[in-house]
Amino acid sequence: RADVGLYRAKQAGRNRTVLESSRRPPLALELLEAIARETLDVHYQPIVSLQDGGTTVGIEALVRWQSETQPGVTPEEVIRVAEEHDLITKLDQLVLHRACHDAAVLQAGAPDRQLVLSVNVSGLELIEADYITRVDEVLRATGWLAHQLVLEVTESVLDVDTPAAIDSMRALRARGIRIAIDDFGTGYSSLSRLKTVPADFLKLDHSFVTAITPDASAPPLLEVIALLSVALGLPVIAEGVETPHQAEVLTELGYLLAQGFHYGKPQSADDIALSLRTNLASSA
């Protein structure tokens, strides 16, 4: 698995190795402790169907953690620190377990629809030899069903030639788990790679949606991506929808799914349970 080393090196960056566990800086140590004590939070953001006026069809799990020594650390920084200091496997595992557990509770409260749970997985975790076994264990322990789980992998995983990542995606899909290519449009995956990648959804990076403003016509790229989605047979989930106008434009262009502050912010499991009930009532 030479590609694993290459990928790790790429992610870890200059002058760092992921195995420097004995030399972790304070923030990484604090994160290590939070993971061990399971004091990280997971929030959930609704994913809605555009073509039927915004019914919630799924939720994305997003990690939340506040450092006591460095308040204001963003989730992106948390993930970066975890990846650089060999903590990402444990973090992703904790989030997956918590999310499947919470989703099972949510699903029990909404028996008339089938919720889909999306969970992010780091490329570093995806290529671990025992990753698939760990996913199996979480599903068994929580009772969450494979066909109601989507794992989100960032497009940059496809930048490097990583057969290990592709193998993992295939193994996950063989179980009925679906794969979404996250932050689509920001990486460098070629059309030929996209055609063969074992994926089920494209998550369009929010920068494309932000480009939809009332004072200009729809960005031509959005039309091209809509066509590409049909040609590849990969439905798009448009990220970062903040305004009714953006929702309208995407709907007219034929986009099927969306996520963003316009529909709901990431919220605690209790709060998303409440808003699911309201969404159900208003769409009924």
Least Cβ distance, residue 130 to Mg ion (angstroms): 23
Residue 156 touches which of ligand C2E, Mg ion, none (Cβ within 5-8 Å per kind): none
Q: Using the rule CB under 6 A, is 260 a contact of ligand C2E?
A: yes
- Residues lying near Mg ion in the complex (CB under 5 A) are found at 120, 152, 182-183, 203, 239
Instruction: Give backbone dihedrals phi and psi of 276, rounded to 5 degrees, phi first.
Output: -65, -40
Interface mask toward ligand C2E for 154-183; x: CB under 6 A: ----------------------------xx
Q: Are strands 41-49 and 55-64 parallel, antiparallel or unpaired?
A: antiparallel
Q: Closest by alpha carbon to 135, among 106, 82, 99?
A: 99
Q: Which stretch binds ligand C2E (CB under 6 A): 103-111, 212-220, 259-267, 272-280?
A: 259-267
Residue 128 touches which of ligand C2E, Mg ion, none (Cβ within 5-8 Å per kind): none
User: Alpha-carbon distance 255 to 222, whole Å?
Assistant: 9
Q: How many CB atoms lie within 10 A of CB 137?
A: 14
Contact (Cβ atoms closer than 8 angstroms) between residue 237 and residue 51: no
User: Alpha-carbon distance 126 to 167, whole Å?
Assistant: 9
Task: Tabulate helix, strand, coil % of the chain (nearest 5).
Answer: 50, 15, 35
Least Cβ distance, residue 284 to ligand C2E (angstroms): 25
Q: Within positions 199 to 228, which residues make up the interface with ligand C2E, using CB under 6 A? A: 206
In this structure, the chain runs to a length of 284
Residue 85 touches which of Mg ion, ligand C2E, none (Cβ within 5-8 Å per kind): none
Q: Scanning the structure block, which residue is given the tokens 């709907």?
A: 251
- 22: which DSSP letter? G
Q: Label residue 267 left, alpha or beta by phi (over 0 means left) and psi (-120 to 50 means alpha).
A: beta
Q: Using the rule CB under 6 A, is 254 a contact of ligand C2E?
A: no
Residue nearest to ligand C2E (CB): 260
Least Cβ distance, residue 75 to Mg ion (angstroms): 9
Residue 260 touches which of Mg ion, ligand C2E, none (Cβ within 5-8 Å per kind): ligand C2E
Q: Using the rule CB under 6 A, is 187 a contact of ligand C2E?
A: no
Could you list the residues that contact ligand C2E (CB under 6 A)?
A: 45, 62-63, 74-76, 79, 92, 95, 120-122, 152, 182-183, 206, 239-242, 259-261, 266
